[in-house]
Structure 1
Amino acid sequence: MTPTRRHDVPLTAASVPALWRLARLDFDPVRQQRVLLYPEGVVLLNNTGGAILELCDGHRSVAEIAGILNDTYHCDVTADVIEYLSGLVERDLVRAE
């Protein structure tokens, strides 16, 4: 089963992302790496990807997530966050309202 497609609505700074209901973040002890698990597979995450997805709680907007990460990385990552999450929306692993 795949989630409902929301590709027709572009992700913006005002969008509020959350993981698809059947996806979850986890840590793979064998790979020593954060992963995004879903019924059909797994996505290996780098530190930045994991940090972005940890903040996707269905309450914070993309702008709020980017603001937190801007402070962490001391640079403007808004465009990168939008691009990363847009790719996951296209793969139906993240939904955005």
Structure 2
Amino acid sequence: MSIAVRSTNRPHLARQVRLEWDPVREQHVLLAPEGVLVLNQTGAIILGLCDGERTVDGIVEELGRRYDRVVGDEVRDFLSRLAAKRWVELGGE
């Protein structure tokens, strides 16, 4: 299932989901009642920017300031997959 992510959405973690550092794995993880998702560095940075205040476009812009090449469609696809699992809520437009 695919969820449409708009540039004006203001994504944030769902209420029951937490982004944490796992010292055993030495990686960020997304913890939810349904399980654990081990994140790569990029995924953790994206989710760290999902504060419910920034828009998707704002997140892409911030990533563009930090890194040479950022593909907005890849960020939207990542958020779409997590929204489909109900780990991320997209927020109002």
TM-score by length of 1: 0.87
Question: Alpha-carbon deviation of 1:76?
Answer: 3.3
**3-state SS in 2 of match to 1:82:** helix
Q: Does 1:85 align with 2:50?
A: no
* Structure 2 CA distance for aligned equivalents of residues 14 and 36 of structure 1: 24
Match of 2:63, as an amino acid? L
For residues 1-49 of structure 1, the C-alpha deviation after alignment (integer angstroms, 9 at most, x for no partner) is xxxxxx8962111111000001010011111010000112110000000
Q: Does 1:45 align with 2:39?
A: yes
Specify the alignment match of 2:50 in structure 1: 56
Residue identity (%): 42
Match of 1:77, as an amino acid? V
1:69–1:77 CA contact under 8 A, matched in 2: no
TM-score by length of 2: 0.91
Q: Displaced runs of 4+ in structure 1, greater than 4 A? A: none
Q: Does 1:18 align with 2:12?
A: yes
* Structure 2 CA distance for aligned equivalents of residues 8 and 80 of structure 1: 14
**3-state SS in 1 of match to 2:7:** coil
Structure 1 runs not aligned, ≥5 long: 1-6
* Structure 1 CA distance for aligned equivalents of residues 66 and 55 of structure 2: 17
